[in-house]
Structure 1
Amino acid sequence: MDPLAGKKILLLIGGSIAAYKTPELVRLLRAAGAELRIALSPHASDFVSPLALQAVSGQVPRLSLFSPAEEAAMDHIALARWADALLYAPVSAAGLARLAQGLAEDLPGAIVLASRAPLFLAPAMNTAMWEHPATQRNLQQLAAYGAQILEPESGSLACGETGTGRLQELSSIVEHLRLALAPHPWSGWRVLVTAGPTWEAWDPVRGLSNRASGRQGYALAQAAAERGAQVTLVSGPTALSCPAGIQRVEVESAREMLVACQDLLRTETINLFIANAAVADHRPATVLSSKQGKQELPPQLQLVANPDIVHSLHRDPRRPRWILAFAAETHGDEGRAVTKLHAKGADFAAINDLRKGAMGGEENAVVLFCQGQRYALAPQAKLDLARALLHHLDTCLHGST
């Protein structure tokens, strides 16, 4: 289940040009299962239609601090108490200044002062305004009050300039809310996840790889972070964006992936290692420095075995406390696959049946074997599957020492 399902989110919209993006933000939050209310600053409606917001949210936005009709429907104090979280997106430089000074002269300012719910601020403004010492001082003051700042991104701005000030990507804002509002049973854990394919070069343009997209590994990293873990994602080549709140280490080959994992073990105590990457079993015996022409290609390519990452980390003196390893199979023999993973040193096994077309797709189905229990997870979106799998793993480990 999405961590935002059932959460009461009060969206405050400020007088920034980026307010035109908020109907899409509303759609994303509703798709996650959040319950929404919306309140606008006096100038927000210059950039986004309240009617559009009502259409996508199913709720009539609050527009005025002193409207008798709106106050009768749900006064701003009750609205502030209703929310599990306040999301002020976008908030302008003027909005930040008012909040930092504790001014309650507009509806969002009054709600923020009256609420004890977590406050998330997503600023959007011109680069010069963002970099001004007064704005930076206001941000520091608001962070000291406990607000979480979802910093703007760099890029092309509405004014025609380029620089920092763009509203953070809407999907990233939603991810930050997920991380902050989800239960955190794995708080204090360190989790290492490998994801994606590896690329074993033969010459500068050719090599050995596979169809893995990395989606399942990235979803597992996100699901672990949502549970409160500190997550490091060691990723082979993919086109995926790193989920919010996760440290990513990018590698190319199986040997590079192993070294990255071993480096982390030397500096951190890892509670859980999730070996999801589709690591190439072999690599070319010789790597050429220049591209070979078609007429120069050998009739046979000599291969050598790559190191087995699960087995190597199992034998490491600083072995992770638990190892969950994945196997992609086409023969349907679960017992053989589980035996293979346990022989490598995995504590728990997750089996993908590639006859169902999981590799590279949007959905996946997995069978998890954990301490004598078998959990069959039906085909579903990979993030949903990752959350369900870690839930079952947590249930299986409950009470373990």
Structure 2
Amino acid sequence: MYHSPLAGKTIVLGVSGGIAAYKSVELVRILTTAGALVRVVMTQSAQQFVGPATFQALTEQPVYTDMWQQDEDNSIRHVAWAHEADALIIAPATANIIGKMAHGIADDPLSTLVLAAVCPKLVCPAMNTKMFENSLVQENLARLSSHGFSVMAPGAGFLACGDTGPGRLPDPDKIADRLMKLLTRQDLDGKCVLVSAGPTREPIDPVRYISNPSTGKMGYAIARAAEHRGAKVILVTGPVSISPPENVETHKVMTALEMAEVVLAQAERADIVIKTAAVGDYRCEREAEQKIKKTGDCMTLDLVPNPDILMELGKRKGKKVLIGFAAETEKLTDHAQEKLRKKNLDMIAANLIGPSDSGFGADTNKITCFSCGGATDALGLMSKEAAAHAILDKAAGFLPECGVS
């Protein structure tokens, strides 16, 4: 069973003195909700923006603000916390704390703890644009990167000082997402994963189209999970309302013909192809140039078949791992196994779309995986994030170096 990389982990959050310190409060909420134990270290300047009591209430842990604080067991806190941490985040990281970390200065609780920590470290700069762009700050960030720190690029926009440009602390959910990648096994490093997601729209006239209820959630979850596991990810997506994952090459399409063109072209680069997109089987033979007016009479649409993208991928498969999806209303096993065989797939992930807790729009899914070797694995009801990792586990097992055929 998949568990979030943050579940059960001890995360130390270092907060330095910038106006963006208020965002760290939301970051704590996200991390604790994901199951992490969060400990907060604050510089003296940070306490001018957010009080330690706020973090203590949210984490149910003492907040480290004084180098001379000692725990009840007489342990030295900056050493004990550094040794127990699974990861260290500095957010916001001001120019001052960045300079200290880059040159090994240890004169406050946070900089001292950083020197003692051997866990993954994520630095999230936040400051005035001119300060961020200063060559000294850039040199310090480069120095941190060369010493194994992960440095997250700041956001750009209107800053509290009135300037506009880079220097904003990234959104807390993006920081948490980056942290999850740092704590996720990199078993797909060096691999390219192509994921198709979402619905297609087949136009009837300028204002109407034929489509389906796919939201893209399953495909986007797979793309995000693959990126976390080190893969180069290509996402080909139909029209959806959710944002693509960070650090994913995204191609947006509308129709089945567009989806076919992009997927077949990009598949040449991929080691693993996972087709979750709900592609329309038919399109109108001719799209009306003007809006069709209501007449009260019956209307007939002449439909022609769209290309079978998965069938074509199967013909070109070679050594690629090819995984399809099947959303069914009945006879799940029969239909899934027929599709698996006819389209030359390594595996097909199938689900029934009737229940409200699986299929289109839901945040959970109940998938059964059918493999070309005859194996069947009913995954049970789980979050789409968990299902994504389960599918990637199986996909990785089909790679040539794993010896599975």
Contact 1:310/1:344, CA 8 A, preserved across alignment = yes
SS at 1:202's partner residue?
A: strand
2:375 match: 373
Q: Higher helix proportion, which one?
A: 1
- Compared CA separation, residues 361 and 68, structure 1 to 2 (3 A): closer
SS at 1:274's partner residue?
A: strand
In the TM superposition, what is the alpha-carbon distance from 1:155 to its structure 2 partner? 2.5
Contact 2:56/2:62, CA 8 A, preserved across alignment = yes
Contact 2:336/2:370, CA 8 A, preserved across alignment = no
Matches within 5 A, 1:286-365: 286-295=286-295, 299-316=299-316, 319=318, 321-357=320-356, 358-365=359-366
2:156 match: 154
Tell which deviates more after alignment, 210-219 or 8-17. 8-17
- Compared CA separation, residues 333 and 146, structure 1 to 2 (3 A): closer
SS at 1:5's partner residue?
A: coil
Write out the 4+ residue segments of structure 1 that deviate beyond 6 Å after TM superposition.
Answer: none
Mapped pair 1:11 → 2:13: yes
Which deviations, in whole Å up to 9, do the C-alpha atoms of 1:92-127 show, x marking residues without a partner? 122222222222122211122222222111111222
Contact 1:195/1:214, CA 8 A, preserved across alignment = yes
2:285 match: 285
In the TM superposition, what is the alpha-carbon distance from 1:133 to its structure 2 partner? 2.5
In the TM superposition, what is the alpha-carbon distance from 1:71 to its structure 2 partner? 9.9
In the TM superposition, what is the alpha-carbon distance from 1:320 to its structure 2 partner? 5.5
Letter aligned with residue 266 of structure 2 = L
Matches within 5 A, 1:49-64: 49-64=51-66
Contact 1:342/1:348, CA 8 A, preserved across alignment = no
Contact 2:194/2:267, CA 8 A, preserved across alignment = no
1:97 match: 99
- Compared CA separation, residues 293 and 17, structure 1 to 2 (3 A): same
Which deviations, in whole Å up to 9, do the C-alpha atoms of 1:334-378 show, x marking residues without a partner? 222321232122221111101113212222211111232221122
Which deviations, in whole Å up to 9, do the C-alpha atoms of 1:313-346 show, x marking residues without a partner? 1122x64621111011111342223212321222
SS at 2:251's partner residue?
A: strand
> When the two structures are aligned, how many residues end up with a matched partner?
398
Instruction: Measure the CA separation in 1 of the matches of 2:396 and 2:378.
Output: 15
Matches within 5 A, 1:103-182: 103-182=105-184
Instruction: Measure the CA separation in 1 of the matches of 2:343 and 2:393.
Output: 24
SS at 1:20's partner residue?
A: helix
Instruction: Measure the CA separation in 2 of the matches of 1:335 and 1:315.
Output: 22
Letter aligned with residue 87 of structure 2 = A
Instruction: Measure the CA separation in 2 of the matches of 1:306 and 1:297.
Output: 28
SS at 1:377's partner residue?
A: strand
Identical columns (%): 38
Which deviations, in whole Å up to 9, do the C-alpha atoms of 1:195-252 show, x marking residues without a partner? 1111122333221111000001111112222333222111111121222332222111
Instruction: Measure the CA separation in 2 of the matches of 1:154 and 1:294.
Output: 48
Unaligned runs of 5+ in 2: none
Unaligned runs of 5+ in 1: none
In the TM superposition, what is the alpha-carbon distance from 1:257 to its structure 2 partner? 1.5
2:68 match: 66
- Compared CA separation, residues 285 and 65, structure 1 to 2 (3 A): same
1:400 match: 404
Instruction: Measure the CA separation in 2 of the matches of 1:354 and 1:201.
Output: 25
* TM-score, length of structure 1 as denominator length: 0.92
Instruction: Measure the CA separation in 1 of the matches of 2:297 and 2:113.
Output: 70
Of 227, 235, 239, the match for 1:233: 235
Instruction: Measure the CA separation in 1 of the matches of 2:297 and 2:109.
Output: 71
In the TM superposition, what is the alpha-carbon distance from 1:19 to its structure 2 partner? 0.9
Instruction: Measure the CA separation in 2 of the matches of 1:194 and 1:184.
Output: 22
Which deviations, in whole Å up to 9, do the C-alpha atoms of 1:2-23 show, x marking residues without a partner? 1222322211111111111222
SS at 1:355's partner residue?
A: coil
SS at 1:327's partner residue?
A: strand
